Amino acid sequence: MLRTKLEPNKQSLLHRLHIDGPLLLGLLALMSVGLVTIYSAGGQDIALIQRQIIRLGVAMMVMFFLAQVPVLAYQRIAIYFYIAGLLMLVAVLLFGVMGKGAQRWLDLGVVRFQPSEIMKLAVPMMVAWYISQFNLPPRLWNICVGFVVVVIPTLLIAKQPDLGTSLLIASSGIFVLFLAGMSWNIIFMVGALGAAFAPVMWFFLMKEYQKQRVLTFLNPESEPLGAGYHIIQSKIAIGSGGVDGKGWLQGTQSQLEFLPERHTDFIFAVFSEEFGLIGIIGLLAIYCYIIVVGVMISMRAQDAFAKLLAGSITLTFFVYVFVNIGMVSGILPVVGVPLPLVSYGGTSMVTLLAGFGILMAISTQKRLLSRQ
């Protein structure tokens, strides 16, 4: 049983600003690694670093802002947030803007906007809100409703198509149900259903280029200059890094442009090539630290909604890490998932830090809630 002591007089400045110090430390460490690696992967382009720092700054402001929002508010807006998100996803399918072979964006005139990013937060909030109204563990009926809540946006996003995001959203919802105590029988049943659903996916839902990716993943050497090129070059970069790496800015695979998507999705290959296994273990240690901090926050959280949401955000963060490293090192097919807080890029960065903002709100506001 965890009970947090009430020490109102000893509240630190960070706490009063609703900032979780240990979490912030971990995030800053990751961002630093990211900037150092982007500098190398982007060909020592200072402008690239500046743009990334601006993005990080914006995302941090979003994070700090969301940390101030009362957790109760998240609970109350969850359903509206979710419905609005669903409508926007439908709108994307109807009027969305094409880009990179997929229909993911809504053009709002001023900004282009990716509704699927909203769903990364809306789905776990919605599922957590719904489940937390009942006694835990949830009953079969509640779980079924929860699944429907997860599956609708997942399918809408998979249809765009955006396999990476739909995967992340599905897992964020399922993590809520898992943490809520969904019975093991159901878990295995769902697993079996999923396995049965795979052929359906293959024949009816997946686009040709997605099928190709899976095939290439299964045997990258079959297409050394085609789709397999990315995976092969990425594995060469990682493997040739060895134990201690080739050194910063010394990675030949990245510096000589053999690696594709160097500063975005494949940045882990650049990092591995230049810093080796030792560097990787250090990087994974930072991720583990953040995950442990996140799980601790969820355990200490005051009510079921906060616990479930915090746990889901933390575990989804791990899914990012696992899927990205897995695909770059050749044990998962290539789906567009960035290495969180290290890869160059804006949209997912804002969503990620928004999630951590909610986590900080949960971490720092529990006393306020308990007094209510």
Partner 1 sequence: MAPRRIAIKDHSAEANLFMRRSFMAMLLVVVMMIVLISNLYFLQVKRFDDYQTRSNGNRIKVLPVAPNRGLIYDRNGELLAENRPVFSLDVVPEEVDDLDQTLSSLGDLLDISQDDIDDFKKDMKRQRRFKPVSLLNRLTSREVALFSANQHKYPGVSIEARLARHYPYGSALTHALGYVAKINKEDSNKLSQEGKEDNYKATHDIGKLGIERYHEELLHGEVGYQEVEVNSKGRIIRTLNFQPPKPGKDLVLNLDVKLQLHIQRLMDKNRGSVVVLDAKTSGVLALYSNPSYDPNYFVHGISSKRYSFLLESKDRPLINRATQGQYPPASTVKPHLALAGLEEGTITPETRMFDNGRYKLENVSHVWRDWVPWGHGWVDAKKSIEVSCDYFFYDLAYNLGIDKINEHMSNFGFGDYTGIDLYEESDANLPSRGWKKARFNEPWYIGDTIPVGIGQSYWTATPLQLAKSINTLINQGIRHSPQILMGHLVDGNTRLAPINELPPIPVQNPENWDLILDSMLGVIHEPHGTARTAFAGTEYIAAGKTGTAQLVSIAQDAKYDAEKLSEKHRDNAMYVGFAPFDEPQISLSIVLENAGGGGSQAAPIARKIMDYYFSEHPLEIAQTDVDEAVEQ
Residue 325 contacts partner 1 per CB under 8 A = yes
Residue 101 contacts partner 1 per CB under 8 A = no
Residue 136 contacts partner 1 per CB under 8 A = yes
Which helix (H) or strand (E) is 289 found in, with range? helix 267-300
Q: Which is nearer to partner 1, 228 or 346 (CB)?
A: 228
Cα(85)–Cα(118) distance, rounded to whole angstroms? 6
Residue 154 contacts partner 1 per CB under 8 A = no
Instruction: Determine which residue in the list 21, 22, 228, 330 makes contact with partner 1, applying CB under 8 A.
Output: 330
Q: HSE (CB half, 13 Å, CA atoms) of 53? A: 10
Report yes or no: 313 and 82 within 8 Å, Cβ to Cβ: no
Report yes or no: 223 and 216 within 8 Å, Cβ to Cβ: yes
First to last CA, the chain: 21
Residue closest to 175 by CA, chosen among 324, 300, 317: 317
Contacts of residue 195, Cβ cutoff 8 Å, sequence gap at least 6: none
Residue 253 contacts partner 1 per CB under 8 A = yes
Segments of the chain assigned E as strands: 97-99, 102-107, 112-113
CB of 67 to partner 1, least distance (A): 22
Q: Which is nearer to partner 1, 237 or 360 (CB)?
A: 237
Q: Which is nearer to partner 1, 20 or 117 (CB)?
A: 20
Q: Which is nearer to partner 1, 134 or 209 (CB)?
A: 134
CB of 28 to partner 1, least distance (A): 22
Cα(6)–Cα(29) distance, rounded to whole angstroms? 30
Q: Which is nearer to partner 1, 99 or 224 (CB)?
A: 224
Residue closest to 143 by CA, chosen among 193, 204, 70: 193
Residue 141 contacts partner 1 per CB under 8 A = yes
Residue 133 contacts partner 1 per CB under 8 A = yes
Question: Tokens for 276?
Answer: 């080796």
CB of 227 to partner 1, least distance (A): 16
Report yes or no: 164 and 114 within 8 Å, Cβ to Cβ: no
Determine the 3-state secondary structure of 68 from DSSP: helix
CB of 304 to partner 1, least distance (A): 6
Report yes or no: 181 and 138 within 8 Å, Cβ to Cβ: yes
Q: Which is nearer to partner 1, 105 or 318 (CB)?
A: 318
Per-residue contact string for residues 226-245; x = within reach of partner 1 by CB under 8 A: -------x-xxxxxxxxx--
Residue 181 contacts partner 1 per CB under 8 A = yes
Report yes or no: 276 and 341 within 8 Å, Cβ to Cβ: no
Report yes or no: 273 and 238 within 8 Å, Cβ to Cβ: yes
Q: Which is nearer to partner 1, 105 or 317 (CB)?
A: 317
**Torsion over CA of 285, 287, 292 and 298, rounded to 10 degrees?**
180
Residue 80 contacts partner 1 per CB under 8 A = no
Q: Which is nearer to partner 1, 107 or 244 (CB)?
A: 244
Question: Tokens for 210?
Answer: 């997605």
Residue 14 contacts partner 1 per CB under 8 A = no
Residue 282's DSSP bridge partners are none
Instruction: Determine which residue in the list 56, 67, 280, 353 makes contact with partner 1, applying CB under 8 A.
Output: 280
Residue 179 contacts partner 1 per CB under 8 A = yes
Segment near partner 1 (CB under 8 A); pick from 54-62, 118-126, 175-183, 191-199? 175-183
Residue closest to 234 by CA, chosen among 276, 283, 272: 272
CA angle in degrees (0–180, nearest 5) for 363-349-38: 125
Instruction: Determine which residue in the list 277, 346, 367, 368 makes contact with partner 1, applying CB under 8 A.
Output: 277
Q: Which is nearer to partner 1, 212 or 240 (CB)?
A: 240
Per-residue contact string for residues 290-319; x = within reach of partner 1 by CB under 8 A: -xx--x--xx----x--xx--x---x--x-
User: What does the binding site for partner 1 look like in residue numbers (CB under 8 A)?
Assistant: 1-2, 133-137, 141-142, 175, 178-181, 233, 235-243, 252-253, 256-258, 272, 276-277, 280-281, 284, 288, 291-292, 295, 298-299, 304, 307-308, 311, 315, 318, 322, 325-326, 329-331
